[in-house]
C-alpha cells in the first residue's frame, strides 16, 4: 500500500502500540498465565525447569516435561533482565505478536500482492482473539507466530528450492512443536495444505533437510525428557494428560465454538467467517484454498487431539480467517470470479457492508475490553493480602496468588491426576501447615472475559479445598472486594482444630 518497507514499519508500530497499552491490566490475568510464566521464573532464578507451586501432577515440581518449553525460556530471559512482573511475563507475547504480523504480511505479499497483504495483516491486528492472545503469557501466540514463519519458509522453498530454507523449515517446525501440543497440529495442517496446493517441485530434498533441522531443534528436549523420567515420580503420560480426551466430541466442540464466536453477540462476525470459508473454494486462487484447508485441518484434528475445550486454542486460525475475510471483500469489490460482475454498485455495497461489520465488531470488542478492564490491576489485590499476612507466612489459595510470591510464601497447590477424596487432600495440606488461606468468590482457572465480578462471597463450597480449609480451620481476619477481581477473604488457620475434628 505504501511500499512493503513502509507497510512493515506501520504494521509493527500498530501491533506494538496496541500490544503495549495497559499491558499489565488488559486482559485480566488468570491462572494459566501464572502457571506458564512461573516456569520461566524458576528457570531464571534456580536454573531448573520445574514448577514452583504445582504439586502432584506427574511430578512437575521435580521436572517439567511437557512440550511447552519455548515460553518459559523466553520469560526466563525477560525476568533475568528486568525481574518478574505481570507486564514482564507478557512482553514475550507482544514480541511474538509482532513476529506473527510481519510473517503473515510476508506470506500474503507473495500470494496476493502488497495491498491485500497490508489489509490482511491489519485485519489480523484488530481481530479480538489475536489481540487477546498476543497480550497473554500463554503459548497460543508463540506457536501461531512460529507457524507463520514456518509457512513463509515453505512458500519461499517452493520458489527457490534452497537447502538452507529447508533446514530452517525443520528448525521452526521443531520450535513450534515445543511451544504447545497444538503447535504440532498447526505445523501438520500448514504442511499438508501447502504441499497439496502449492508444491512446484519434488519434496524429497525438503523432507531430508527439514528433518535435519527438526532433529537439531527437538533433540535437546528429547534427551532432557529421557533424563527427567528416570525419576520414578516424574510421569510424561500424566503431565501430557494422555488418555483424558473429553467424552463427547460434539458437545465439547459446540462449547469451544460458542465461546470463540461469543455467541450470540458475535453472530454477525460468525456469519462472515463462515461465508468467507465457503467462498474460498469457489473459483479462487491457490492461496485462498490453502488458507481454507489449513483452517479445516486444524479444526478437525484439534477436536480429536485435545483434552481441553477452551476457545483460545482456535486463535491459531484467526489469521487465516482474516485472510479469507479480506479476500472475500476484495473479490466482491473487484468482481473476481463472483456473481453480479456487472452490478458494480451492488458489489461495492456488499463488500463495504462486510468490511464495516468486521471493523466495527473488532474495534468495538477491543475498545470494550480496554474500557471494562483498564483498572484491573491485580497488584492491588496482592498488596492487600501481603499487608495482612506478612512476608514470612505460608499462604494457600488460588494459584493466581503466586504473583505475590516475593511478598509472602505461596503454596504449593495440589493437582491430582486421578480422583482423590477430600480427606486425602486435607492430609496433603497438613504437611505444609499453611498459616493463611485466601478465599475468592471467583475461581480463576478461567479468565472471565469482561464480566463483572460478583458483589458478595458465596457460601462455603464443598468441591473447593480452599473453602473447606477455611471453614474447618480458619478464622476470617480480613475481607474486601476488588472492583475487578471480586470479593476476597483472608483466613488465619489453626491446624490444631483438625485434631478436634
Q: Mind listing the pLDDT tens digit for each residue in 340-352?
A: 666 778 888 889 9
Q: What is the pLDDT of residue 338?
A: 61
**What Cα–Cα distance (Å) separates residue 18 from each residue in 15, 118, 126?**
5, 17, 9
Q: What is the pLDDT of residue 416?
A: 67
- Reported confidence tier of residue 247, pLDDT bands at 50, 70, 90: low
Q: What is the pLDDT of residues 174-215, one digit of tens each?
A: 999 999 999 999 999 999 999 999 999 999 999 999 999 999
Q: Are residues 437 and 451 in the same domain?
A: yes
Judge whether 61 and 35 are in contact, CB under 8 Å.
Answer: no
**What Cα–Cα distance (Å) separates residue 228 from each residue in 75, 196, 217, 231, 239?**
22, 39, 18, 6, 12
Q: How many residues does the chain have?
A: 501
Question: What does the alpha-carbon distance between residue 286 and residue 111 come to, in Å, rounded to a whole number?
Answer: 8
Give me the mean pLDDT over the 135-154 stretch.
98
Q: What is the pLDDT of residue 288?
A: 97
Q: Are residues 432 and 283 in the same domain?
A: no
Q: Are residues 315 and 411 in the same domain?
A: no
**β-bridge partners, 439:** 489
| Structural domains in the chain (count) | 2
Q: What is the pLDDT of residue 73?
A: 98
Q: What is the pLDDT of residue 243?
A: 56
Q: Are residues 352 and 397 in the same domain?
A: no
Question: What does the alpha-carbon distance between residue 306 and residue 301 come to, in Å, rounded to a whole number?
Answer: 9
Give me the mean pLDDT over the 236-259 stretch.
76
Give me the mean pLDDT over the 413-437 stretch.
81
DSSP H stretches of helix in 47-85: 70-82
Angle subtended at Cα 285 by Cα 280 and Cα 290, rounded to the nearest 5 degrees:
65
The closest of 91, 125, 132, 85 to 450, measured between CA atoms, is: 132
User: CB-based contacts of 169: which residues, under 8 Å, 6+ apart?
Assistant: 150, 153, 154, 157, 206, 209, 210, 213
Give me the mean pLDDT over the 278-290 stretch.
94
Q: What is the pLDDT of residue 425?
A: 80
The closest of 446, 450, 487, 447 to 467, measured between CA atoms, is: 487
Question: What does the alpha-carbon distance between residue 25 and residue 377 come to, in Å, rounded to a whole number?
Answer: 5
In the DSSP assignment, the letter for residue 415 is: -
Judge whether 408 and 393 are in contact, CB under 8 Å.
Answer: yes
Q: Are residues 360 and 399 in the same domain?
A: no
Judge whether 239 and 57 are in contact, CB under 8 Å.
Answer: yes
Q: What is the pLDDT of residues 392-423, one digit of tens each?
A: 999 999 999 999 999 999 989 887 656 667 77
Q: What is the pTM of this model?
A: 0.94
Task: Provide the edge-to-edge strand list for the sheet that holds 474-482.
Answer: 409-410, 394-397, 436-440, 486-493, 474-482
* Helix axes of 86-112 and 286-305: crossing angle, nearest 10 degrees: 140
Question: What does the alpha-carbon distance between residue 289 and residue 392 come to, in Å, rounded to a whole number?
Answer: 60
Residue 497: helix, strand or coil by DSSP?
helix
Judge whether 493 and 462 are in contact, CB under 8 Å.
Answer: no
- Domain end position, chosen among 373, 407, 424: 373
Q: What is the pLDDT of residue 86?
A: 97
Q: Are residues 134 and 276 in the same domain?
A: yes
Q: Are residues 408 and 287 in the same domain?
A: no
Q: Are residues 352 and 485 in the same domain?
A: no
Cα-Cα-Cα-Cα torsion 162, 165, 170, 172, nearest 10 degrees, comes to: -170
Question: What does the alpha-carbon distance between residue 90 and residue 24 come to, in Å, rounded to a whole number?
Answer: 8
Q: Are residues 279 and 353 in the same domain?
A: yes
- Cell triple for 132: 487477546
The span from the first CA to the last CA of the chain, in angstroms, equals 73
Q: What is the pLDDT of residue 340?
A: 63
Judge whether 332 and 350 are in contact, CB under 8 Å.
Answer: yes
Residue 438: helix, strand or coil by DSSP?
strand
Judge whether 272 and 357 are in contact, CB under 8 Å.
Answer: yes
Q: What percent of the chain has pLDDT over 90?
A: 78
The range of the structural domain enclosing residue 77 comes to 4-373
Check whether 67 has a pLDDT greater than 90.
yes
- Cell triple for 173: 517446525
Q: Are residues 361 and 432 in the same domain?
A: no
Q: What is the pLDDT of residues 19-37, one digit of tens each?
A: 999 999 999 999 999 999 9
Question: What does the alpha-carbon distance between residue 191 and residue 174 come to, in Å, rounded to a whole number?
Answer: 13
- Reported confidence tier of residue 246, pLDDT bands at 50, 70, 90: low
Q: Are residues 298 and 228 in the same domain?
A: yes
Q: What is the pLDDT of residue 427?
A: 83
Count CA atoms closer than 13 A to 499's CA, side-chain side. 4
- Cell triple for 453: 465480578
Q: Are residues 360 and 436 in the same domain?
A: no
- Domain end position, chosen among 330, 346, 373: 373
Give me the mean pLDDT over the 102-120 stretch.
97
Q: What is the pLDDT of residue 166?
A: 97
Give me the mean pLDDT over the 41-68 stretch.
93
Residue 482: helix, strand or coil by DSSP?
strand
Question: Which residue do the cell numbers 493437582 mark?
Answer: 415
**What Cα–Cα distance (Å) separates residue 55 from each residue in 43, 234, 240, 461?**
17, 11, 15, 22
Residue 128: helix, strand or coil by DSSP?
helix
- Domain end position, chosen among 373, 407, 439: 373
Amino acid at each position: 500500500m505504501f511500499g512493503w518497507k513502509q507497510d512493515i514499519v506501520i504494521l509493527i508500530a500498530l501491533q506494538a502500540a496496541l500490544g503495549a497499552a495497559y499491558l499489565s491490566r488488559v486482559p485480566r490475568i488468570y491462572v494459566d498465565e501464572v502457571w506458564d510464566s512461573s516456569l520461566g521464573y524458576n528457570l531464571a532464578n534456580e536454573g531448573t525447569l520445574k514448577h514452583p507451586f504445582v504439586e502432584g501432577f506427574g511430578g512437575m515440581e521435580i521436572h517439567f516435561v511437557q512440550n511447552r518449553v519455548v515460553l518459559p525460556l523466553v520469560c526466563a530471559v525477560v525476568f533475568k533482565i528486568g525481574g518478574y512482573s505481570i507486564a514482564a511475563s507478557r512482553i514475550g507475547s507482544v514480541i511474538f505478536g509482532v513476529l506473527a504480523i510481519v510473517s503473515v504480511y510476508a506470506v500474503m505479499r507473495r500470494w496476493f500482492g502488497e495491498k491485500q497483504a497490508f489489509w490482511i495483516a491489519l485485519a489480523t491486528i484488530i481481530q479480538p482473539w489475536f489481540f487477546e492472545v498476543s497480550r497473554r503469557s500463554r503459548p497460543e501466540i508463540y506457536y501461531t507466530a512460529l507457524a507463520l514463519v514456518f509457512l513463509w519458509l515453505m512458500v519461499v522453498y517452493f520458489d527457490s528450492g534452497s537447502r538452507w530454507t529447508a533446514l530452517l523449515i525443520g528448525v521452526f517446525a521443531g520450535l513450534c512443536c515445543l511451544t504447545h501440543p497444538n503447535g504440532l497440529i498447526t505445523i501438520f495442517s500448514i504442511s499438508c495444505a501447502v504441499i497439496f496446493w502449492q508444491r512446484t517441485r519434488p519434496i524429497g530434498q525438503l523432507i531430508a533437510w527439514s528433518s535435519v533441522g527438526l532433529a537439531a531443534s527437538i533433540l535437546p528436549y528429547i534427551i532432557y525428557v529421557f533424563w527427567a523420567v528416570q525419576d520414578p515420580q516424574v510421569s510424561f503420560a500424566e503431565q501430557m494428560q494422555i488418555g483424558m480426551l473429553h467424552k463427547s466430541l460434539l458437545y465439547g466442540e459446540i462449547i469451544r465454538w460458542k465461546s470463540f464466536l461469543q455467541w450470540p453477540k458475535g453472530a454477525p462476525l460468525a456469519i462472515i467467517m463462515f461465508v468467507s470459508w465457503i467462498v474460498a473454494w469457489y473459483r479462487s486462487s491457490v492461496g485462498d484454498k490453502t488458507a481454507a484447508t489449513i483452517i479445516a485441518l486444524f479444526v478437525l484434528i484439534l477436536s480429536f487431539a485435545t483434552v481441553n475445550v477452551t476457545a483460545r486454542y482456535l486463535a491459531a486460525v484467526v489469521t487465516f480467517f482474516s485472510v479469507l475475510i479480506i479476500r472475500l471483500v476484495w473479490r466482491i469489490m473487484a468482481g473476481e470470479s463472483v456473481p453480479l460482475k456487472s452490478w458494480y454498485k451492488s458489489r461495492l455495497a456488499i463488500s463495504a457492508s462486510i468490511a464495516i461489520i468486521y471493523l466495527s465488531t473488532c474495534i468495538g470488542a477491543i475498545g470494550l475490553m480496554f474500557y471494562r478492564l483498564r483498572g484491573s490491576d491485580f497488584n492491588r489485590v496482592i498488596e492487600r493480602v501481603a499487608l495482612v499476612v506478612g512476608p514470612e507466612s505460608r499462604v494457600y489459595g488460588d494459584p493466581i496468588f503466586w504473583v505475590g510470591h516475593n511478598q509472602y510464601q505461596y503454596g504449593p497447590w495440589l493437582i491430582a491426576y486421578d480422583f482423590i477424596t477430600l480427606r486425602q487432600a486435607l492430609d496433603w495440606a497438613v504437611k505444609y501447615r499453611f498459616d493463611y488461606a485466601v478465599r475468592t468468590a471467583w475461581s480463576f482457572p478461567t479468565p472471565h472475559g469482561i464480566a463483572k465480578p460478583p458483589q458478595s462471597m458465596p457460601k462455603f463450597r464443598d468441591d473447593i479445598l480452599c473453602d473447606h480449609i477455611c471453614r474447618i480451620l480458619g478464622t476470617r481476619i480480613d475481607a474486601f472486594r476488588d472492583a475487578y477481581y471480586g470479593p476476597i477473604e483472608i483466613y488465619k488457620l489453626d491446624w490444631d482444630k483438625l485434631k478436634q475434628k
